[in-house]
Each structure stands twice: as C-alpha cells, then as structure tokens.
Amino acid sequence: MLKRRDENGFHYLYDHYSGALYGVILRIVHSRECTEEIIQDVFVKIWNCIDQYDSSKGRFYTWIINIARRTAIDYLKSKSFQNGLKNQSLSQYICDTTEFSESDHSSEDIGLKNVIGNLENDKQELIDLAYYQGYTQIQIAEKLKIPLGTVKTKLRKALILLKQLLKDRT
C-alpha cells in the first residue's frame, strides 16, 4: 500500500508505528516539542523514500526506526538547534521521560527491552547508548574509553545476536 502511495497505507503506517517512533525520538532529543517536529519529518522521509526499502535487507520496523533515530540525531547536530541551545535556558530542553517509559510511546510494543535483556551486559549497554540514547559510535568510544574499532565490532555482534533472538521469537 505504501509503495503505491495509497493514503490508507499512510494512515496504517501512522496508526501502527507513530507511538514507537515518538518514543525513540523522545529518548534522543528529550523534548516533546522537538519530538513532534521531528516525527513529522520522519513520516515525510518514510513516505518519500519508501521505494528504497528492501525487505531482503531487514524488517520494515527496523528500517523506519533507523530513519527516526538518524533524523533525531541530525536534528541535535543541526546549526539551528545548536544556536538555539546557546540562546535558551536549559530547562526548556529537559523533559521527564518516565511517563513515556510505561506508555504506548516506546518500542515495548514488541517487547524489545525483554529481548535485549537476554544479551550480555556490555552488549546491552552499547545498544542502549546507540539506539535509545542516540550516541554515535565515536561518542560511545569516548564515553566508554574504548577504541572506536572495538565499539563498531561489539555493536555489530550485539545487533547480529539481537537479530537472531528476534528471529527465534517469531
């Protein structure tokens, strides 16, 4: 439906995935106002780039989550956001996300946290930093004080294990 640019396909996409996308974006930007702005961009990108989705390379859910994650990170890196931080008080960008951690607005709709919990602690930490907190691999290496190559290798292994765990669940 989406690839045919069917309006019903867009409604289905929004109804079934907006909560999870909202949760991912909010965990990265920590601002409801920014999240609402970014999620609009994410749905436009999904709609405009739907022809680029290849089911042989991965699940649709993973593809749209990655679009949301990259868009949120790009937003944080943007000059306009960085300039805004210089001109605004910090309290504007602090948001208590605890109310969202138990709500419909998270990846918990598919029980992802439970599956990630089956990984070793170091792999859980890498996935949390990269996908829930929005750190880049370079930032993870700096934060954990480990080489960038090690971060890349461990994160790749973690994702391969996670993929296998998810495959075993279905």
pLDDT for 42 equals: 93
Strand, coil or helix: what is 31?
Answer: coil
Are residue 121 and residue 99 in the same domain, yes or no? no
pLDDT digits (tens, 9 = 90+) for 22-48: 988 988 888 888 899 899 999 999 988
- When pLDDT is averaged across residues 163-167 and rounded to a whole number, the result is 77
- When pLDDT is averaged across residues 7-21 and rounded to a whole number, the result is 85
What are the φ and ψ backbone dihedral angles of 87, each rounded to 5 degrees?
Answer: -100, -5
Are residue 1 and residue 48 in the same domain, yes or no? yes
Tell me how far apart the 2 most distant CA atoms of the chain are, in Å.
49
pTM: 0.53
- What are the residues whose beta carbons fall under 8 Å from the beta carbon of 134, sequence distance 6 or more? 27, 28, 29, 69, 72, 73, 76
pLDDT for 90 equals: 45
Q: Which domain holds residue 142?
A: 111-170
Are residue 3 and residue 49 in the same domain, yes or no? yes
Does pLDDT of 67 surpass 90?
A: yes
Determine the Cα–Cα distance for residues 14 and 35; give it in Å rounded to an integer. 15
Cβ–Cβ under 8 Å, residues 20 and 37: no
State the residue for tokens 């607005």.
105
- When pLDDT is averaged across residues 98-121 and rounded to a whole number, the result is 61
pLDDT for 64 equals: 92
Are residue 115 and residue 139 in the same domain, yes or no? yes
Query: CA 97 from chain center: how many Å?
Result: 15
Are residue 100 and residue 119 in the same domain, yes or no? no
| Number of compact structural domains in the chain | 2
